[in-house]
Amino acid sequence: MNDSLASSLVLVADDEVQTTVMLTRIFEREGYRVHSTYDGISALQAAIELIPDLILLDVQMPKMNGFEALQALRENPITTNIPTIIVTAKARQPSDIAYGLNLGADDFVQKPFDPRELLARASSKIRAHKLEEALQRRSQELEILLRVSEALNQHVNVIELLNLVPYLVLDLLPGSFASIYQFDDQLNILQFRLENKSSVPHEFTEAEHYNMVKKFLAGGNSIFWNQAAVGLSVDFANGIAVPLQHGGKLLGMLMLASNTNTLVYDENHLRLFEGIGRQAALALRNAELYEIQIKYSSQLEVMVEAKTTELKSAQEMLIRSEKLASIGELAASIAHEINNPLQPIRINLGDMLEDIQNNIPIDVRAIQITQESVERIRRIVNQLLDFAGKRNNNNLEMELIDIGKIIETVVSLNRKFFEKEGMQIKLNIPSGLPTYGNKDQLEQVFMNLVLNAQAAMQRGGVLTVKGWIENNEIITQFADTGCGIPQEQINKIFDPFFSTKVNGTGLGLFVSYGIIQSHNGIIEVDSKINTGTTFTIRLPSEHPVQ
């Protein structure tokens, strides 16, 4: 079994003891943990309490059948995303399978089954679920870091920062107490702030603060614990402490703690808290240097000359503080751009599994499209690595490409997704729309426009994509029948971090605008409320029309 699936928990719900024992042996032999139940109600309760990585659900069970249990699982926000495979000998008709899939089943396996096939299907579902959870978690972490970066970047006063940071921590992470400590050069507490939202208020003494810092300094680096903190008069059941460090200098520490046993901090909490700590340390050091600069500006000329070196350092830190927001921008871009090609991958994999269940040959084109989407993710990651390495954008591969073929590929990737949502894509692109450009970047622009159109429309909506050559320009249009954009927002849609979508990052159109500009092109928008939106892109044609 893959190491990433080691110790995954499988919940088996089947009223036949022999089947339950057999399934338990099959999965335990591969390193999985297994919990068994024998009726639908027990399965539902176990799923809520244990949060398994996979549920194997029989249809014919006492008290509550498998379909009823599946419906209850999908209606409960705690269990709604747990992958579930129906393992049954009864529900064999296509109507039964369709009913189960419509209720939210991820797969169907009919008894008798091949253990190898069942294990393969199970590992595929668990792996996909873990990947989706990881992407969601990282997206949430990146959004949190963006909020912290934006908030801290607005303050250059030490007192304001010390007051703000604990409040931000408790607003963004679970916990009862958050505190920040500023150290002097001898690692003594210079000043501190604490935010307390515990249901049991407690007035912290100086001795307790000293013990907290002493415990942290004894540990050296970041620490987290899930038991009472030894040596403290306050019973912290769980906690995390990270250093506020800049340029090799320890400026202070940041702590988050809970006095309840229901909250358990893990490596994910620690990683996110360390990211917040790094940004807090940079902001704190910037504020310290800013205060030094203000004090020096009021001193005599002799004093100013003696501190020239420190002032230059302060100016450099002020410049760096202006770049804090770029961390959040890059982070949000990763989540935004990788989620786009993941959509057709998920749809195609689901269709292929359905074809296998119905003994229908797998669509080779669907496999090719899935491979192309995986390759696109790889290229996006490589581009991000290139950006991290500060390579010049002039090194992008520019070649003679056919705009029509690129748009046809994007439409093919999304057509099934539109059909599943009850929408249409109408394509009117002639062959031969040549221009010099970067295929991956232009594909990214067209993909973003197609997905934006889908998000703006309801069932029955139509996206019309057209292309033609006019006055030595290649003109492409993406016209949807969606909700439209208010006129007062039209001039803002290409601004970074501005989005008309509830969960939008505000980066898709900003990035697309930059790509079209780098190709010596123009992107324009026209929209009417409750009528639709049309994006028009103009790119230079390599072969002018005579």
Residues 342 and 303 in one domain: no
CATH number at residue 118: 3.40.50.2300
Low-confidence ranges of the chain (pLDDT < 50): 229-233, 319-324, 386-392, 544-546
pLDDT for 191 equals 85
What is the full DSSP assignment across 132-198?
Answer: HHHHHHHHHHHHHHHHHHHHHTT---HHHHHHHHHHHHHHHS--SEEEEEEE-TTS-EEEEEEEE--
pTM of the predicted model as reported, rounded to 2 decimal places: 0.38
Number of structural domains the chain divides into? 3
Residues 463 and 345 in one domain: yes
In a domain, 220, yes or no: yes
d(CA 76, CA 46): 13
Q: Which of 79, 105, 134 is the last residue of a domain?
A: 134
Torsion of CA 327, 167, 244, 274, to 10 degrees: -60
Asked if 324 contacts 283 with a C-beta cutoff of 8 angstroms, the reply is: yes
CATH number at residue 282: 3.30.450.40
Could you read off the pLDDT of 150-208 as tens digits, one per residue?
A: 667 776 778 888 888 888 888 878 888 888 888 888 888 888 888 887 766 666 667 77
Sign of CA dihedral 437, 443, 444, 445: positive
Q: Report the largest interatomic distance among the alpha carbons of the chain, rounded to a whole angstrom.
A: 92
Residues 279 and 340 in one domain: no
Residues 377 and 299 in one domain: no
In a domain, 497, yes or no: yes
Residues 423 and 514 in one domain: yes
125 residue type, one letter: K
Could you read off the pLDDT of 126-138 as tens digits, one per residue?
A: 888 877 776 666 6
Range of the domain at 64: 3-134
For the sheet containing 532-540, what is the strand order?
Answer: 424-428, 462-470, 473-480, 532-540, 522-528
According to DSSP, the residues that pair with 11 across neighbouring strands are 35, 55
Q: Which two tokens stand for residue 168?
A: 């931000």
Q: Which of 134, 162, 193 is the last residue of a domain?
A: 134
pLDDT for 12 equals 92
In a domain, 328, yes or no: no
Residues 283 and 367 in one domain: no
Q: Which of 134, 164, 190 is the last residue of a domain?
A: 134
pLDDT for 4 equals 57
450 residue type, one letter: V
d(CA 259, CA 245): 27
513 residue type, one letter: Y
Peptide bond into 112 cis (omega under 30): yes
In a domain, 146, yes or no: no
Residues 78 and 183 in one domain: no
Residues 158 and 130 in one domain: no
d(CA 413, CA 425): 11
In a domain, 148, yes or no: no
Residues 406 and 498 in one domain: yes
CATH number at residue 454: 3.30.565.10
Helices (H) and strands (E) in the chain, counts: 16, 17
pLDDT for 125 equals 85
Residues 245 and 120 in one domain: no
In a domain, 331, yes or no: no
Residues 123 and 253 in one domain: no
Q: Which residue has the tokens 């699982």?
A: 73
In a domain, 436, yes or no: yes
Residues 64 and 203 in one domain: no
Helix (H) or strand (E) holding 297, with range, is helix 267-297
In a domain, 144, yes or no: no
